[in-house]
Amino acid sequence: MEYCFYLDWSGLEPEVWAAWAQAVLSAIAIVVAARMAINQEKRQQRAKLSAYLAIASDIVDQADSSLKDFRGREGQYSSLPQYQWWERICSVLDAIPLHEIPDYRLYDVIWRAKNISIGARELHAKTQSKELIDAKKIEIMELIRENAGGVYDETVKVVNEVITPSIVQRIRYWWLKRG
C-alpha cells in the first residue's frame, strides 16, 4: 500500500519517461488551448459590447443635436442631415442579428433604441417639408432625448455587469446557460 504513493523515478526506462512527458505536456497543451479560446471569446464579446455602447452613445448625441436643431428652427422645417442620420441608425439597428447579441438584457435595450430611432426619423420626416416645427414637436423630441438617455444608461449597466460580473451574476449566468 505504501508503494502506491511512492515511485522510484530513477529506475524508469526512457520509453516510460517519454510517455510521462507526453502525458503531462499534452495536458498542459489542452489547458492552454482552452484558455486561449476563452480569452478570444471574451475579446469578441467585449468588442460587441463596445459597439452597442457606441451606438447608444451616438443615439444620445444625435437626440441632443436634433433637440437643439428643433429648438433653433421653431416655426421652420427641420434639416435633411438630421433625418438622414436617423435613417442610417435605423438601418444599423435593423442589421443587428439577434443571435449575436452577447447578453439577453440587451434585446430590450436594442428594441427600445430602434423604436426611439424610428420615432425620431418619423418626426424629422414630418417636419422636413410637410409640417413646421412647433412646441408639441419640440416636446416630443425632448421625450425622445430622455428615452435615449435611458437606453444609454441601461446599456452601460449591462456592459459593466457583463465585462466585470460579480460571483452571484456568474453563477446565475452559468445556471441560465445550463438550463
pLDDT in tens, 75-129: 888 877 888 899 999 999 999 998 888 888 999 999 999 999 999 999 988 888 7
Residue 50 structural domain: 45-160
Q: How confident is the model at residue 6, as a pLDDT? A: 55
Q: Please give the Cα distance from 102 to 49 (Å, whole number).
A: 7
Are 137 and 128 in contact by the 8 Å Cβ rule? The answer is no
> Is 175 within the bounds of a domain?
no
User: How many domains does the chain divide into?
Assistant: 1
Q: Please give the Cα distance from 66 to 81 (Å, whole number).
A: 10
> Is 84 within the bounds of a domain?
yes
pLDDT band at 1 (very low <50, low <70, confident <90, very high): very low
> Is 59 within the bounds of a domain?
yes
120-162 pLDDT, tens digit per residue, is: 999 988 888 788 888 998 999 999 999 999 999 999 999 888 8
What is the per-residue burial (b if ≥16 Cβ within 10 Å, else e) of 121-150? Answer: bebbebbeeeeebeeebeebbeebbebbee
> Is 61 within the bounds of a domain?
yes
> Is 87 within the bounds of a domain?
yes
> Is 99 within the bounds of a domain?
yes
Q: How confident is the model at residue 125, as a pLDDT? A: 87
Element (H, E) at 83: helix 80-94
pLDDT band at 23 (very low <50, low <70, confident <90, very high): very high
Phi-psi region of 101 (alpha: psi -120 to 50; beta: other; left: phi over 0): beta
Residues near 14 by beta carbon (within 8 Å), at least 6 away in sequence: none
Q: How confident is the model at residue 9, as a pLDDT? A: 61
Amino acid at site 57: S
Rg for the chain, CA atoms, rounded: 28
What pTM does this model have? Answer: 0.73
> Is 58 within the bounds of a domain?
yes
> Is 77 within the bounds of a domain?
yes
Calculate the CA 158 to chain-centre distance.
8
pLDDT band at 169 (very low <50, low <70, confident <90, very high): low
The DSSP call for residue 16 is H
Report whether pLDDT(37) > 80. Answer: yes
